[in-house]
């Protein structure tokens, strides 16, 4: 069995294993030689709602701080997949609305984003005008990395905002959600006392992906126009440090 096959088997075994808070393994260099550095990969699991079975299921995910080494304009499938997993973790199903954010908060905490916060909408039964947002942050090198997760899974009556198109301009329901996300982000940055250089990852699925697109547009415009403080918060945010998936 060649080196690449060994790696494939190791990854497959981890994907099947699941069930733990975090597990680690070391892969070889794919045949580049024994002197090449080994790659350390972290595997985690999170709970997500599975529409097919109608139950919460364990899902595998991978994370490394190095995912943020590349700028936002670079091809970055690893960060994209991590962002997708964050978005999926938002859809935890429970009859206790105050615990709907448990999975995304636990997932962010497990990968080191321990400064977590969820907005009030994430603690109550959704309405047509609800936008549920969870945030977490950690320091990586000279940057504070902030994750903004917008719930687009299993969100009940909030689905109705898809129909609020409006007469002109941006989609009314999505624009309303965008305003909630940016307001929550500004509050979070101020409340946590975050200053200096920031990297921002915002992610969503379905309705919340549309909201994320609008957030990305407004943040990109703010960076270009020098209005980051008004739009995001009193931090330094560059174009290549703002990721939207």
Q: DSSP per residue over 155-222, as a string?
A: -GGGGGGGG---SSSS-HHHHHHHHHHHHHHHHHHHHTT--SBEEEEEEE-THHHHHHHHHHHHHHHH
The whole-model pTM stands at: 0.80
More confident call, 130 vs 25? 130
User: 80 vs 120, 232, 235, CA distance in Å?
Assistant: 27, 22, 24
**Domain residues for 155?**
3-244
**Domain count within the chain:** 1
The pLDDT-based confidence of 189 (bands split at 50, 70, 90) is very high
- Average pLDDT over all residues of the chain: 82
**3-state SS class at 94:** coil
Do 112 and 126 touch, CB atoms closer than 8 A?
Answer: no
Q: Give the model confidence (pLDDT) of 153-185 as tens digits.
A: 776 656 656 656 767 777 777 889 999 999 999
Tens-digit pLDDT profile for residues 122-136: 998 877 778 999 999
């Amino acid at each position: 069995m060649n080196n690449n096959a060994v790696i494939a088997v190791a990854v497959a075994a981890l994907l099947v294993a699941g069930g733990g808070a975090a597990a680690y393994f070391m892969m070889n260099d794919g045949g580049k030689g024994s002197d090449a550095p080994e790659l350390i990969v972290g595997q985690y699991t999170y709970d997500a709602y599975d529409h097919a079975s109608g139950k919460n299921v364990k899902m595998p995910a991978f994370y490394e701080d190095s995912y943020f080494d590349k700028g936002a304009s670079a091809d970055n499938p690893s960060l994209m997949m991590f962002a997708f997993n964050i978005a999926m973790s938002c859809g935890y199903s429970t009859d206790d609305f105050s615990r709907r954010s448990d999975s995304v908060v636990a997932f962010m905490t497990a990968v080191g984003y321990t400064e977590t916060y969820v907005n009030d909408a994430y603690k109550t039964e959704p309405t047509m005008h609800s936008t549920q947002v969870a945030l977490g942050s950690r320091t990586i090198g000279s940057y504070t990395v902030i994750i903004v997760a917008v719930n687009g899974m299993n969100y009940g009556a909030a689905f109705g905002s898809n129909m609020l198109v409006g007469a002109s301009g941006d989609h009314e329901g999505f624009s309303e959600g965008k305003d909630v996300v940016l307001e929550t982000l500004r509050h979070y940055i101020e409340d946590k006392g975050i200053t200096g250089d920031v990297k921002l990852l915002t992610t969503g699925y379905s309705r919340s992906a549309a909201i994320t697109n609008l957030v990305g547009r407004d943040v990109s415009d703010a960076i270009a126009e020098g209005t980051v403080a008004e739009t995001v918060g009193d931090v330094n945010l560059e174009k290549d440090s703002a990721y939207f998936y």
